[in-house]
Amino acid sequence: MISIRIDAEEAGRALTVLGANLGNLADPITKLLDLGLEDGRANLESRGVMFNEGWAIMSPWTTKVAKALYGKVREPLDVLEDTGALLLSLVKDAPFNIFEVGDGEGEAGSGYLSTRTGFGVAVAMQYGTTRTYHVLGDGGFTVPGIPGRPFLSWHDERGDEYAGIFAEHALAGVNTPEA
């Protein structure tokens, strides 16, 4: 005789473990958010090259304003790395870091504000500014605001890796028959 046998008791035990694992997703959410912050730091350090085409440099006027206001002489891209505080804010538990995880949700990122003015540096970096500057001289002209330089986001090309983190958590402790 040949037959196919189903052991519902074993399936029930596996579903119980699976249900318990899905009841608290804090661990995989933490891993995903850690990965997101790591990617954000790598994207900042690569000046946007890691996950996109790179960032446009800031207006030459940005450096002129920085020199006039702060006495600093820099290249346009160096303005983004002035203090290193934005990069540091993407490290868990560092100043201005956001990292909150619950059973079924979480959030991580940067709340970095200029300590001198309170200006939302992290938000302006991610989305840019709409403010334009009128520059006087030779009749005057207008310079657009800071372009967005997205550094913190989920990446489609890593979707399988993200899903694998949840799958590994969900299936932990579930005995699967060997092929």
178 in a domain, yes or no?
no
Q: Helices then strands (H, E): number in the chain?
A: 6, 4
* Domain span including residue 126: 8-171
How is residue 112 written in tokens? Answer: 């970095």
30 in a domain, yes or no?
yes
Range 53-78 average pLDDT: 67
177 in a domain, yes or no?
no
59 in a domain, yes or no?
yes
Number of domains in the chain: 1
pLDDT of residue 169: 78
Burial of 55 (0-12, 13-18, 19+ CB in 10 A): buried
Range 60-66 average pLDDT: 67
pLDDT of residue 3: 80
1 in a domain, yes or no?
no
* pLDDT band per the 50, 70, 90 thresholds, residue 126: confident
* pLDDT band per the 50, 70, 90 thresholds, residue 179: very low
Higher-confidence position of 100 and 9: 100
* pLDDT band per the 50, 70, 90 thresholds, residue 31: very high
Compute the distance between CA of residue 34 and CA of residue 164 in angstroms, rounded to an integer.
15
Range 103-111 average pLDDT: 92
pLDDT tens for 127-169 read 887 766 555 555 555 666 677 888 888 888 888 898 888 888 7
Higher-confidence position of 103 and 95: 95
pLDDT of residue 79: 57
3 in a domain, yes or no?
no
